[in-house]
């Protein structure tokens, strides 16, 4: 059984709210073996598809939905957003946004930052999002684009949970990448993202972008590269699995 690093619920605060469940996964407790051991949730990395399907079943169960109701991404390191009304695989986007109940939005990564966002909308149902953000996403502004989209859809109080990612010390990069991060972000954001000489702290940058937008965040998990027992890291291992984060809103919880 897939063991989450953490899970929780955004408790209802406004009349239209439903309980919104989230969970962050690492690599422990799943059905995969070898380099994908144990909780790989990605089908595209070369793992046994039956093992991944069982891990996805477990992942869905963490937020009390079925595997067939998952919405997954085939991310492109850009800033495009898909509006999700039905489950499935969404190609060419790094952000999913939905006001649909019982659909689980998933973002995965193995160094890149997986995060979810929750926006209360008063009398209307909440709106939820899952985002994948690596250094290119930091440059493209996928997180701020998603927050803008949520606000356009009426979200006021936005909260976030940010999953495990590689730290700046373990992520040294070519100078042009740092230059792109610097020139594409406000000074405060790039100061945090580029605090380590020669590296990019993508998660630090994402957290700065969130803070700049007034979004409160919970951070789950440490550096992917430094924790081989509990987290997948592409930079460390090359062929490896993916951990992730999931968010789902339930319609009927209040009556059950």
What is the contact surface with Zn ion in residues (CB under 5 A)?
Answer: 167, 170, 223, 225-226
Which strands make up the sheet holding 113-121, listed edge to edge? 81-83, 95-98, 124-133, 113-121, 158-162, 216-219
- Residue closer to Zn ion by CB (options 193, 249) is 193
Q: CB of 102: closest distance to Zn ion in angstroms?
A: 37
Contact by Cβ (8 Å): 254, 197? no
CB of 241 to Zn ion, least distance (A): 18
Give least dist CB 153 to Zn ion, A.
Answer: 35
| Minimum CB distance to Zn ion smaller for 71 or for 193 | 193
Helix axes 142-152, 202-212, angle to 10 degrees: 30
Residue with tokens 């790989």: 40
Question: What is the DSSP pairing of strand 104-109 with strand 70-74?
Answer: parallel
Q: Distance (Å, rounded) from C-alpha 230 to C-alpha 160?
A: 22
We find the least distance from the C-beta atom of residue 58 to Zn ion, in angstroms, to be 27
User: Residues 114-152, buried b or exposed e (16+ Cβ, 10 A)?
Assistant: bbbbbbbbeeebbbbbbbbbbbbbbbbbbbbbbbebbee
- Residue 184 Cβ, how far from Zn ion at the closest point, in Å? 23
Q: For Zn ion, which is the closer residue by CB, 136 or 236?
A: 236
Q: Which residue lies nearer to Zn ion by CB, 23 or 231?
A: 231
Q: By C-beta, is 139 or 170 nearer to Zn ion?
A: 170
CA distances from 49 to 34, 214, 237 (A): 14, 40, 20
Question: Strand, coil or helix: what is 254?
Answer: helix
Quote the least distance from Cβ 233 to Zn ion, whole Å. Answer: 9
Cβ closer to Zn ion: 220 or 223?
223
């Amino acid at each position: 059984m897939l063991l989450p690093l953490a899970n929780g619920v955004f408790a209802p605060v406004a009349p239209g709210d439903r309980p919104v469940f989230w969970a962050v996964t690492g690599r422990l407790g799943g059905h995969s073996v070898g380099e994908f051991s144990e909780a790989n949730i990605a089908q595209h990395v070369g793992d046994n598809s039956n093992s991944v399907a069982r891990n996805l079943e477990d992942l869905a169960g963490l937020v009390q939905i079925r595997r067939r109701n998952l919405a997954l991404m085939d991310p492109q390191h850009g800033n495009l957003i898909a509006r999700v009304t039905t489950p499935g695989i969404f190609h060419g986007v790094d952000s999913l946004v939905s006001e649909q109940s019982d659909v689980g939005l998933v973002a995965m990564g193995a160094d890149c930052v997986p995060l979810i966002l929750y926006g209360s909308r008063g009398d209307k149902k909440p709106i939820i999002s899952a985002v994948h953000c690596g250094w290119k996403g930091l440059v493209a502004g996928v997180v701020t684009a998603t927050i803008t989209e949520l606000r356009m859809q009426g979200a006021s109080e936005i909260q976030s949970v940010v999953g495990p990612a590689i730290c700046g010390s373990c992520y040294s990069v070519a100078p042009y990448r740092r230059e792109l991060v610097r020139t594409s972000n406000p000074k405060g954001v790039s100061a945090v993202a580029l605090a380590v000489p020669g590296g990019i702290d993508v998660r630090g940058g994402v957290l700065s972008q969130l803070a700049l937008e007034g979004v409160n965040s919970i951070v789950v998990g440490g550096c992917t590269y430094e924790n081989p027992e509990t987290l997948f890291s592409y930079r460390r291992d090359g062929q490896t699995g993916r951990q992730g984060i999931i968010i789902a809103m339930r319609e009927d919880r209040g009556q059950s």
